[in-house]
Structure 1
Amino acid sequence: MTDSSPLRARGSLIDALSSTVDRGGHGLKHTPPLLSRVLEEGAWQEFETVRGEVVQHTDFVDFVTTPPLKGLGATVDLVRRMVADDPTALDLLDRALGGEKTSRDPDPHSSEATPPSAKQAAALRRLQKDAPELHARVLAGELSAHAAMVQGGFRARTISVPVSKPESAARALRRNLKPEELAHLIKLLSEEEPAE
């Protein structure tokens, strides 16, 4: 086979992706576009290594966890973290994984300890299923996944309120609540807490 063969070209792409994953933080800017290409082209399913071996995978997780040169020699969690800020790569990764949670993907509605990439992947899955137009806007870079989830009614809009200064908390609430919501809040705050 020559260097121009499709399998060798795929192998070169896999080798480049494996190198960026291996470099960790130093390869962050290159990993999302490389992973996107590998997934869009299906290069991970069959390729030729630099040693001339033809490698075939039917399961993407096997491809990720198989040591180089036949795979990436990484974990799905690492790859997910490396593409967490790229909605397109994250969406393609999620599709390659079949939309299934990996062992470290907690319930998207659980605590703040949920890794951001797992939260974003869960949001992208929900948007793709229930709000495809918002999903498309996230992939186009028009909205963040969180903003799309809020806009679609899948997450409540939240704000940060400084608690050390009541005046600052009041200003933040006035800026973000409608007058009737403020009146209801004032009523709730003036009521006594029931004894436990």
Structure 2
Amino acid sequence: MSEHDTNWTLIASAASSLTHGSQRLQNFIDALRRLLHEDAWKSYTHPNGTHHEFTRFADFLEHPHGLYANIERVQNLVRDDPQLASDLESALSEKKGGEQNSEDADNYGVMFENSIEESSESGKQGNRRAYRLRRLERDAPNYHARVLAGEISVNRAMIESGLQVPTPSIPKGTPVDDVAITLRRRYSPDELAVLRQLLTEDDSSV
């Protein structure tokens, strides 16, 4: 059996296990670990003779010719395995490549927030979640471990560790009382006094 045929067998096993959900979760985890460690996802030949190649793991996960899986679901399935979760995030952070000779789509809908050093690096860091996990692993390992254990979100870990400044967000329709509470938490009395003045200024001439 050729290497490509072996890769296909492993991919088919992972896809089948993923379809069966919790009943075959361990089989999927074992197959995913091998896919990552052996780079089996990068190149394989389907039994019908069609050859496929990928240069980015995120594309392989989502593509119909790959696992055709939701990335967030896969992340959730492996969160109890810290090493595999870390390996997965590293693979997801690889630069965009796509499947050769096929239409590629980037499905990451990301809302950017203010954070230390990130504004200048976000364009070259790939997936935002993976980048923030690397920051935590490097600069706040305790919080990194809590994220992998599912105890805390990446966003909360970045804020509590001091690696990210929270961006105030007031959705349309938020009760005025709640807005006031948020502003009092964010600004000093002097700043609030300026805000009051600005809000009460007559802007009829504008």
Q: TM (normalized to structure 2)?
A: 0.52
Unaligned runs of 5+ in 1: 1-7, 46-59
Alpha-carbon contact 1:161-1:173 (below 8 Å) kept: no
Query: Counterpart of 1:63 in structure 2: which amino acid?
Result: W
Alpha-carbon contact 2:158-2:164 (below 8 Å) kept: yes
**Aligned match for 2:191, one of 162, 173, 184:** 184
Match of 2:71 in 1: 83
Unaligned runs of 5+ in 2: 1-5, 63-68, 98-105, 114-121, 202-206
Alpha-carbon contact 2:14-2:28 (below 8 Å) kept: yes
Shift of 1:145: 1.1
Post-superposition Cα deviations, 1:65-91, rounded to whole Å, max 9, x if no partner, equal 53446x987762242772325263553
Shift of 1:188: 3.5
Post-superposition Cα deviations, 1:92-145, rounded to whole Å, max 9, x if no partner, equal 223346x53334599x8858xx9xx92222221221122111111001110011
Are 1:102 and 2:111 an aligned pair? no
Note closer, same or farther for the CA distance 1:67–1:27 as it changes in structure 2 (3 Å cut): farther
Note closer, same or farther for the CA distance 1:72–1:169 as it changes in structure 2 (3 Å cut): farther
Note closer, same or farther for the CA distance 1:173–1:101 as it changes in structure 2 (3 Å cut): farther
Alpha-carbon contact 2:58-2:91 (below 8 Å) kept: no
**Aligned match for 1:147, one of 150, 153, 156:** 156
Match of 2:31 in 1: 38
**Aligned match for 1:131, one of 115, 133, 140:** 140
Query: Counterpart of 1:158 in structure 2: which amino acid?
Result: T
Query: Counterpart of 2:86 in structure 1: which amino acid?
Result: D
Aligned-CA RMSD value: 4.8
Note closer, same or farther for the CA distance 1:95–1:39 as it changes in structure 2 (3 Å cut): farther
Shift of 1:187: 1.4
Question: How many corresponding residue pairs?
Answer: 160
Post-superposition Cα deviations, 1:41-76, rounded to whole Å, max 9, x if no partner, equal 57752xxxxxxxxxxxxxx3x62453446x987762
SS in 2 for 1:178: helix
Query: Counterpart of 1:187 in structure 2: which amino acid?
Result: V
The sequence identity of aligned pairs, in percent, is 22
Q: Report 1:149-168 matches (<5 A).
A: 149-164=158-173, 168=175
Find the aligned partners of 1:190 and 1:135 in 2 and give their Cα distance.
43
Q: TM (normalized to structure 1)?
A: 0.54
Find the aligned partners of 1:29 and 1:82 in 2 and give their Cα distance.
15
Q: Report 1:18-57 matches (<5 A).
A: 18-19=15-16, 36-40=29-33, 45=38
Note closer, same or farther for the CA distance 1:181–1:34 as it changes in structure 2 (3 Å cut): farther
